[in-house]
Amino acid sequence: MKRESAGDRIFQIINTVVMITICCIMLYPIIFVAGRSLMSDVERAARPLALFPEKISMLAYSFIFMRGSYVGSAYFVTISRTIAGSACSLAVTTLAAYVLSRKEYPLRNAFTVMIVFTMWFNGGMIPNFLLVQSLNLNNKFLVYILPQLVSAWNLLIMRNFFSSIPETLFESAKIDGANDLQIYARIVMPLSGAAIATIGLFYAVWQWNAWFDSLMYVSDRSLWTMQLFLREIIRNVQSIDLLDQSSSIGALPPAESVQMATIVVATLPILCLYPFLQKFFVKGVMVGSLKG
């Protein structure tokens, strides 16, 4: 076994120190926000730089999810649009990518050019608003799914991934009598777990963080997303208006606590999901970029 030189050991030590430092820098804001959301107003004023509370206070979280608050429904809307939107986007993206990856399809290149064209030019905000209005999607849950159903970039990545699958597998399946739908379901999909997980996470993160479509097309507060409420809280620190006028608020927690608690509530699920799918990122994206 080859012995490590002094230079290799020094490099490993420096590399480890640098990576630990970067991890600490990345984790500090998350720990700071989570800790401050659990502090009382008195403790936060007395310990402005503290990361962990001496006494946990759940007042901000109780306020967010208290009876009469729209935040609970906004959280449900965000989870629903993330699950439904990601599933629908993945289904359409994989089906379209499979068709465009087949060399025998005569319109393959023409459709690919049109899809790439949309990455460079788009109609803009006003045409999109008029389109949504003409489709009668305002104040409807489908406005979160249909207008952004497919990402051209994700479609091209998936198409390139499918193109990298050996052609002999398709030929063997056709000899055995399989049609395109069977090849897609029984061969292509099982072999594309890495790409599907990667693109699925891309769609899920976008759906989870999206708020502008809710601002543009939805005036019904019961259909607002969590991110739009977070934006409203940040904009209106001194006047948090999340409850029905008829609701009994009682003692309001400090606005900063509600801000911090809302950030935790809005980001925690996607942070928990990311580590399980992160390992697919390099494999899924890199394999999808090998062939055009």
In this predicted structure, the answer to whether residue 67 has a pLDDT above a threshold of 60 is no
Asked if 226 and 74 count as a contact pair (C-beta separation under 8 A), the reply is yes
pLDDT of residue 243: 46
Q: What is the pLDDT of residues 165-174, one digit of tens each?
A: 888 888 888 8
- Runs of H (alpha helix) within 38-70: 41-46, 59-64
- 19-63 pLDDT tens trace: 999 988 988 888 888 888 888 777 777 777 778 888 888 877 877
Q: Annotate 107-161 with DSSP letters as a single string.
A: THHHHHHHHHHHHH----HHHHHHHHHHTT-TTSGGGGTSTTS--HHHHHHHHHH
Please tell me the pTM assigned to this model.
Answer: 0.75
Q: What is the mean pLDDT of the chain?
A: 81
Res 290: pLDDT: 45
pLDDT digits (tens, 9 = 90+) for 201-236: 889 888 988 888 888 899 888 888 888 887 776 666
Structure-model confidence comparison of residues 248 and 114, the more confident one: 114
Give 259-284 pLDDT, tens digit per residue.
788 788 878 777 777 777 666 655 55
**What pLDDT does residue 286 have?**
53
State the average pLDDT over residues 193-199: 84
Q: How many C-beta neighbours within 10 Å does residue 263 have? A: 19
- The answer on pLDDT for 244 being more than 50 is no
Query: Using CA atoms, how far apart are residues 260 and 37, in angstroms rounded to an integer?
Result: 5
Report the pLDDT averaged over residues 67-91.
84
Between the CA of residue 219 and those of 72, 85, 209, 215, what are the distances in Å?
Answer: 17, 20, 19, 7
Report pLDDT for 80.
Answer: 92
How far apart CA 210 and CA 82 sit, in angstroms, is 10
| Residue 88, pLDDT score | 94
What per-residue confidence (pLDDT) applies to 2? 59
Return the ∠ at Cα 44 (arms to 63 and 232), rounded to 5°: 45
% of the chain surpassing 90 pLDDT: 15
State the DSSP code for 185: I
- Give mean pLDDT, residues 123-152: 88
Residue 163 confidence class, pLDDT cut points 50, 70, 90:
confident
207 vs 70, higher pLDDT: 207
